[in-house]
Amino acid sequence: MTYIDIIPSAVYKEKFSLSLTAKQRVVLDYLQIKQNGFSNEFHLFDREEFKSLKEETYTHIRKYEKDVCGFKEDLNLRITESWYRETVPHVEGVRVPNNNHEKHNHPNSLLSGCIYLHVPDQPSNNKSHGGIMLVHREARGVFKNFDFCYNQNNTRYNVKETFIPVESGDIILFPSYIDHFVSHNLSETESRKIISFNTFIEGDMNLNNSFPNQLSLKQAL
């Protein structure tokens, strides 16, 4: 018996080979962090100090382009935004702002990603708080217009959420339209620290030369 998956979504996960330099750590330490945990800087990779991280990030994006997208040579994804975020430690009995990240997606972007600079250890009975939860766009089981009661043995077809565990040094890439959220950081001493980024297409989007309505996108320098 064979089941054939159609229209799958690919999430990329790999180790990021570079570690933060002392200069990069200083920059992050002095960034202004808003109450929601986001930095005021949304073009972090454009800073000279982060050139090496940007270059390695592109090596991972190019792998995704080749293995998943199958783009032709003159079509690429270009990083459009990049920012730093901290998810602060847990305080027992207190509702702490910026201790999690509610469900959201990334509009006006094609592929998004996260570099996990530091992921604190989570309690052994709450390991799901150490990663990212991806929500299926039509999270209504096998038959998209009906929702039934399922037993506890979720299948890859009826599951409504997919948990991606991560640890310090990981990078993940995922289609920007996918809703996702991050559970509460249950560490009482350490913040979760990540760099996130969005991308958009650059190049000739024409499928073949016979189409008169071809579109070519180039990002202004």
pLDDT value for 51: 96
DSSP 12-79: EEEE------HHHHHHHHHS-B-TTSBBS-SBGGGSGGGHHHHHHHHHHHHHHIIIII---TTEEEEE
pLDDT value for 124: 61
Give me the percent of the chain exceeding a pLDDT of 90: 40
Exposed/middle/buried for residue 101 (C-beta within 10 Å: 0-12, 13-18, 19+)? buried
CA-to-CA distance for 70 and 142, rounded, in angstroms?
28
CA 37 to chain CA centroid, nearest Å: 16
Domain count, the chain: 1
Q: What is the CATH number of the domain that holds 145?
A: 2.60.120.620
Q: How high does pLDDT run on average in the chain? A: 83
Q: Which domain holds residue 173?
A: 12-203
C-alpha torsion sign, points 206, 218, 196, 13: positive
Residue 211 resides in a domain:
no
> For the whole model, what pTM was predicted?
0.85
Residue 219 resides in a domain:
no
Q: Which residues of the chain have pLDDT under 50?
A: 221
pLDDT value for 190: 86
pLDDT value for 66: 93
Q: Using an 8 Å Cβ cutoff, are 198 and 176 in contact? A: yes
pLDDT value for 147: 64
pLDDT value for 187: 81
Q: Using an 8 Å Cβ cutoff, are 15 and 119 in contact? A: no
Residue 94 resides in a domain:
yes
Residue 186 resides in a domain:
yes
pLDDT value for 137: 64
